[in-house]
Amino acid sequence: MTPEDAERIHEASLGLLADPGVRIEHDRVYERLLKAGAKPGADAHVVRFPRDLVMECVGRAPAEVHFADRRSQGYTIGGQNTTRVWSVPGMNILRHGEHRPFTSTDMADVARLLDRLENVDAVFGLSLDDVPPRARDVVGLRVIAQNTTKHVRVLCFTPEGADALCEMKRVADGAWFSVGFTAHGPLRWTNLALEIFARTAGHGIPATVNGEPTAGASGPVTLAGSAAVGNAEILAGIVVNQILEPGRPCIYNLGLAHFLDMKTAIAVTGAPENHLLAQISAVMGRFYDLPSCSWVSTESMCVDAQAAMEKTFGFQAQMSAGVSLIWGVGQLESELTFSPAQAVIDNEIVSYCRRYDRGVETSDETLALDVVREVGIGGSFLEAEHTLEHFREELWEPTILFRNRREKWDGQPLDAAAEARADELITAPRKPCLTGDQEKVLLDIERRFMTRL
């Protein structure tokens, strides 16, 4: 992607926003857009977005977004900040060879696991099969908060649930959780998505604005064409958010885009085309001076070589592209399934990629010419003080990969070692993640919400 490519996608998207426009399936948001300077389109609830309005609203969104948590000072993405990596949403769990719908007990276990994986920066909500569908966001946030102090990305299922989530925010300082929604394209924002944005506005809660075209289905089969459609959807979503809450932290997310496999009708997630679209997300995010987001997944049904191949390339390609925020830890089966063992492996992959991306420092200290002269021709650096001072920082150390002689190997393959490590982390003793008062507040909000269902 060159700057000229980014400019062409930008201009193409502005053209789509002006003609035919985007369907806004929400009366109040529709009226507010018209009041802000947008124009009615040819069909009901279609809005045409003038260039000046789009760029004014994009300019209101901050270039950096801070994510609070309940363990430290949180962290910031965008600009020159480090790429952050999160877990994923999903519907099913694969654990100890059993594949089944995800439950609230699984959510507690997964949150405890992710809390202890040092390369995972936030915990994503999952769909809880044992909870009524309209309550899965509220119950999910409470369960996650009980089991991790990391930042939480909630799944929003209903407008009423969004209200309860905003109540829950007060148990800790800052935006310790964030929200987001996806355009159901092409060129369409649903009433539910817009209502979630509207009800969570005014609280400083970061919002991920997702364009998720499927090339060949909800977008042109050509990647540039799908990128133009997805970019238009995202820009429309950012305009909406900035009108609802000027200055709201927004994350630009074109990295969820897929393509339709013409043999199987599967929306593919682990192919090279996915990572090219993620690269476009990074480039367009920088073009608009916004943090970017993407997703790493695999079509594999289990923890195997296919998952390792697709996810390793995905994390490395997307981190090297400069994506601000990558989802993907633990994902299998085209974004449908979470695996604790895969999460452990993904944590290792991310650590590996972070070391690679850190590169090589060239300085007097690292060139170590004085040390070379001191050791001399034919000498050994093993005893040198310089080696002791630098090897831990310089040399990457795995946590579950095997690095030893064959006689030291117990015969256990990586997937089994990862499953055992996941079990160990889930069951390890832990300190409470909430105070008694915080837990009471969350449970009270949840109970009141449940009685209104």
Residue-wise pLDDT tens digits, 70-95 = 998 899 999 999 999 999 999 999 99
Distance CA 419, CA 425 (A): 10
Distance CA 94, CA 82 (A): 31
Q: Which residue has the tokens 């407008």?
A: 159
Q: What SS3 state is found at 289?
A: coil
Distance CA 174, CA 164 (A): 17
Distance CA 288, CA 73 (A): 27
Distance CA 370, CA 139 (A): 61
For CATH 3.20.20.480, the residue range(s) in the chain are: 59-358
Better-scored residue on pLDDT, 1 or 414: 414
Single pTM value for the model: 0.96
Residue pair 330/342 in contact (Cβ under 8 Å)? The answer is yes
Q: Which residue has the tokens 């192919």?
A: 271
Looking at every residue in the chain, the average pLDDT score rounds to 97
Residue-wise pLDDT tens digits, 35-73 = 999 999 999 999 999 999 999 999 999 999 999 999 988
How much of the chain exceeds pLDDT 90, in percent? 99
426's CB contacts (< 8 A; 6+ apart) are 109, 112, 113, 340
Residue-wise pLDDT tens digits, 100-158 = 999 999 999 999 999 999 999 999 999 999 999 999 999 999 999 999 999 999 999 99
Per-residue tokens: 401:
């990969």
Q: How confident is the model at residue 453 (pLDDT cuts 50, 70, 90)?
A: confident
Residue pair 235/320 in contact (Cβ under 8 Å)? The answer is no
What is the DSSP code string of 51-73?
HHHHHHHHHHS-SSEEE--SSSS
**The pLDDT value given to residue 196:** 98
- Which amino acid would we find at residue 303? V
Q: Which residue has the tokens 């000072």?
A: 73
**The pLDDT value given to residue 72:** 87
**The pLDDT value given to residue 158:** 97
Residue pair 270/84 in contact (Cβ under 8 Å)? The answer is no
Residue-wise pLDDT tens digits, 290-328 = 999 999 999 999 999 999 999 999 999 999 999 999 999
**The pLDDT value given to residue 436:** 97
**The pLDDT value given to residue 54:** 99
> What is the DSSP secondary structure assignment for residue 333, as one 8-state letter?
T
Q: Which CATH number fits domain 59-358: 1.10.3720.10, 3.40.50.1820, 3.20.20.70, 3.20.20.480?
A: 3.20.20.480
Is pLDDT at 1 greater than 90 in this prediction?
Answer: no
Distance CA 239, CA 37 (A): 11
99's CB contacts (< 8 A; 6+ apart) are 92, 93, 337
Residue-wise pLDDT tens digits, 172-209 = 999 999 999 999 999 999 999 999 999 999 999 999 99
